[in-house]
Amino acid sequence: MSIRIALSKGRIFDETAPLLKAAGIIASEDPETSRKLIIGTGRTGVSIIIVRASDVPTYVQYGAADLGIAGKDVLLEHGGGGLYQPLDLGIAKCRMMVAVQNGFDYEGAVRRGARLRVATKYLKTAREHFAAKGVHVDLIKLYGSMELAPLVGLADAIVDLVSSGNTLRANNLQAVEEIMPISARLIVNQAALKLKRQAIQPMLDAFAGAVAKGGT
Ligand code: PRT
Ligand code: MG
């Protein structure tokens, strides 16, 4: 029985490696240096595919991968259809925030009922957040470097992930509202879980054990 795991390079792969190891899975190559998109592991029948962070749920939804690891930010935008989400891994933690340029009176604008221009990669999350607050927004879809938008007059505010806060500080921005805490989740294809339970369940148990031991 073969099992394919979808991961993204960078922080997700780095922070997942110890959890994979706890499940007896060690990548044969480092995705940062290898150009391979399908990487073998020390375990027969288990391979890792390297995809963009925001594509992980898609590969798992369609069964091209049996399991994957994706941030809650990515899962909210994807919608989660066809996915079983058994475990919060407590890794790649950050916060989804609203941020504005220093000096911009966000509270005042909200109180006045002003219409705000908000730039973000997270349209769904942003739309739901401002709708729940009753704030009128024009959302502008970006694919990255959201921090630039308020500085050049593209938007009044951004919705983005913040971890250390260094990127906001370096760009004269400040967080004005937390939308939600974010961490990475294990996702499993629903059909694969039924058909390959014998192979997948022990992995889920090993991940859960490693997460509990990690004290997250
Ligand atoms: O890079 P690519 O476009 O392929 O995709 P991606 O940026 O979504 O992937 P990646 O690998 O950067 O992030 C994968 C996952 O890590 C995200 O989906 C989040 O769940 C999680 N994560 C945790 C973060 C951060 N922390 C984070 N700080 N993802 C992005 N950031 C960015 C943030 O967008 C901002 O630009 O880092 C910057 C802020 O960091 P600080 O430390 O300066 O506050
Ligand atoms: Mg990135």
CATH number of domain containing 165: 3.40.190.10
170-203 confidence digits (pLDDT tens): 999 999 999 999 999 999 999 999 999 999 999 9
User: What is the rounded CA–CA span in Å between residue 62 and residue 117?
Assistant: 35
Cβ contacts of 211 within 8 Å, gap of 6 or more: 19, 87, 88, 89, 90
Q: State the closest ligand 1 atom to the C-alpha of 10, by its place in the atom list counted from 1.
A: 11
- What tokens does 130 get? 């401002």
Judge if 154 and 165 occupy the same domain.
yes
For residue 62, what are the contacts with CB-CB under 8 A and spacing of at least 6? Answer: 82, 189
pLDDT band per the 50, 70, 90 thresholds, residue 1: confident
Q: How many domains does the chain have?
A: 2
- Dihedral sign (CA 148, 150, 154, 156): positive
The mean pLDDT value of the chain amounts to 97
Residue 82 sits in the same domain as residue 48: yes
Residue 49 has pLDDT above 60, yes or no: yes
Ligand 1 atom closest to the Cα of residue 74 is 18
Q: Are residues 192 and 152 in the same domain?
A: no
Instruction: State whether 54 and 131 are in the same domain.
Output: no
82 plus 129 within the same structural domain: no
Residues 168, 156, single domain; the answer is yes
Inter-CA distances, 40 with 35, 43, 46, 197, Å: 13, 8, 7, 21
Q: Of the bound ligands, which one is closest to the alpha carbon of residue 55?
A: 1
What pLDDT does 103 receive?
96
Task: Give the global pTM.
Answer: 0.96
Give me the pLDDT at residue 216, please: 53
Same domain, residue pair 140 and 191:
no
Q: Which single residue is written with the structure tokens 């996915």?
A: 83
pLDDT at 168: 98
- Burial state string for 76-102 with b = 16 or more CB within 10 A and e = fewer than 16: bbbeeebbbebbebbbbbbebbbbbbe
- Cα distance between residue 201 and residue 112, in whole Å: 53
- 109 and 88 share a domain? no
112 CA distance to ligand 2 middle (Å): 35
User: How far does residue 11's CA lie from ligand 2's centre (Å)?
Assistant: 9
Residues 78 and 43 in one domain: yes
Our mutation pick for probing the ligand 1 site, out of 94, 164, 172, 185, counting the most ligand atoms within 8 A of Cβ, is 94
Residues 188 and 85 in one domain: yes
Considering the domain architecture, whether residues 112 and 172 belong to the same structural domain is answered as yes
Vertex 85 angle, CA 83 and 127, to 5°: 80
Q: Give the mean pLDDT of 12-27.
A: 96
Can you give 79-136 as a three-state secondary structure string? CCCCEEEEEECCCCCEEEEEEEECCCCHHHHHHHCCCEEEEECCHHHHHHHHHHHCCC
Domain that holds residue 68: 3-92+183-212
* Residue-wise pLDDT tens digits, 53-66: 999 999 999 999 99
Q: Are residues 7 and 85 in the same domain?
A: yes
Ligand lying nearest the CA atom of residue 184:
1
